[in-house]
Amino acid sequence: MKIYYIANARIPSEKAHAIQIAKMSEAFLRAGADLKLLVPWRKTSEKTSREFYGLKLDIPLKRLPAIDLFNFGWLGFFIGSLSFMVSYFGYLFWKKISGEEMVIYTIDMDNFSFLAVPFLKRPYFAELHDAKKKNIFWNFFFKRIKGLIVINQLIKEEIKKNFSLADEKILVFPNGIDLEFFEGFERLAARNRLNLPINKKIVLYLGKFYQWKGLEILIELASRLDENTLLYFVGGDKKELERITNQSFSRNNIICVGQRDYKEIPEWLAAADVLLVLGTKKNEYSYLHTSPMKLFEYLASRRPVVASATPAIKQIVSEKEVWFYEPDDAESLFRAVGEALIKETSEKIENGFEKVKNFSWQKRAEDVLNLIRSQIL
């Protein structure tokens, strides 16, 4: 039976959700699924997903017509998503009347493009990365759903409470990791290849700059670090960081290197002395619902990890694997970084590596496929 994976996302791109979609698609294929990924046609890299992400398999992919206005704010996003909804519905409806048996798998890239899925009257499953509030649209969607994949237990409990879904229909599995992709990188060699200073300590944050992440705390951290410790941002430039944090700064120890090719990321992580995972009480998604891919990548890199002690992150790791700091407390973050810098050979690092072995993309895909089989056979 064919699985059509609907994702309202630009593929390939450097964003975490696009990486997740590509990695899961490859894992589905390796697990034996007959899968095709449906995405909107948008301007993107000329590289294939296999080239862009360093995959071992080509992903069967269909780019469907869509109006690409995503650089024009909320209205552009709405128009683009609506046009994609019309395209995928037409494409799958034609497959349906042609007699093709199918299962539909989708991911919540927005709050409306999924709405056409139930009208296809074919078994469908959805992956959610945050809890959904009770309303007529979600009620309609969940009433007919065969199964749900969520990234933490907190989301599962809220979904069950709001929509009365049976426990056996919901699979909890955080984001995953491709361990092989992060193997074989050594700190000194990585610094030489990336032209980074050998005699400085490097504290590194990886990721796109979004307001919900609480990046302001890192500017406060930089003001407390000594002259031998540098704070690197991999994922955006200085101008973007100043805009997101609403702060202007000229500190020499803050270095923004912009977007990097995804295949470079293992070297950047290997080059660091400490890696940072943020989380803030000021945003519900950040505090309760996120499952940061960077956390799994950090643990796989065998470098010291300092993480915000949010309920969402503590669903994945404990003090046995990371150094925690109190959310939104710059002094607590500074102390945790200091401890991590002087304990680079801590058993936390090996504990973290052992923990992350449980979160492979392959295991995740196999568990999802088992859920699909259990609900449609």
- Give the Cα-Cα-Cα angle 331, 333, 335 (nearest 5 degrees): 70
Amino acid at 225: L
pTM of the model: 0.92
Note the pLDDT of residue 18: 93
Q: What is the DSSP letter of 182?
A: G
Q: Could you state, in chain order, the average pLDDT of each consecutive group of 10 residues for the chain (377 residues)?
A: 94 92 97 97 87 94 90 82 95 97 90 88 95 90 95 94 93 95 94 96 95 94 95 93 85 92 95 97 94 96 97 96 97 97 85 96 97 92
Note the pLDDT of residue 274: 97
Other residues' Cβ atoms within 10 Å of the Cβ of residue 365: 24
Q: Alpha helices of 7-135 — where are they, by DSSP H?
A: 16-30, 49-53, 73-97
Note the pLDDT of residue 244: 87
Domains along the chain with CATH numbers: 2-176+360-376 (3.40.50.2000), 179-358 (3.40.50.2000)
Torsion of CA 16, 38, 153, 363, to 10 degrees: -80
Which residues 6+ apart lie within 8 Å of 94 measured at CB?
none
Structure tokens at 265: 């990321």
Instruction: Name the 3-class secondary structure at 254.
Output: strand
Q: Phi/psi of residue 250, each to 5°?
A: -135, 25
